[in-house]
Amino acid sequence: MKLHTSSTEKYQTVTGYDQSGVEINAKRYDYSVLVMPEVAPRAWNVAHFDELTPAHFEMIAADKPDVVILGTGERQRFVHPKLVASLASQRIGVESMDSHAACRTYNILMGEGRKATLALIIEGAKAPE
């Protein structure tokens, strides 16, 4: 799916998405990533939803976003509250949704000036070392 460009080109914007990867500002990532508006996308070493640990969310908590949009792949899945305790303790909300919806929602929030983090799981893909 291709998304349309907007006036947010100076920020990290999702410009396309399919099941095997995501485009951020027209650059393709074929592995799970963390995306924030003003920070270059970072590899997120998660190949499957079931591999998530508290450490994955502690990495996000260190960035102190307003909200985390968790893209869980083809279908919406919810994480156990123990996994996101580091976020909850800082009053950082986590919204879980399928990855298509997560990409759209991130773009909307980012366009509104919110400090959102897109945590996108690309199932089966390992981040480069």
Phi, psi of 100 (to 5 degrees): -60, -50
Instruction: Report the distance separating Cα 46 and Cα 64, nearest Å.
Output: 20
Q: What is the pTM of this model?
A: 0.89
DSSP string, 55-115: HHHHHHHTT--SEEEEE-SSS-----TTTTHHHHTTT-EEEEE-HHHHHHHHHHHHHTT--
Domains of the chain: 14-120 (3.40.1230.10)
Question: For 40-57, what is each residue's pLDDT tens digit?
Answer: 999 999 999 999 999 999
**Residue 103, CB half-sphere, CA atoms under 13 Å: how many?**
25
What value does the mean pLDDT of the chain take?
Answer: 91
Strand 21-24 relative to strand 27-29, pairing: antiparallel
Question: For 54-91, what is each residue's pLDDT tens digit?
Answer: 999 999 999 999 999 999 999 999 999 999 999 999 99
pLDDT at 12 over 60: yes
Instruction: Report the distance separating Cα 18 and Cα 120, nearest Å.
Output: 12
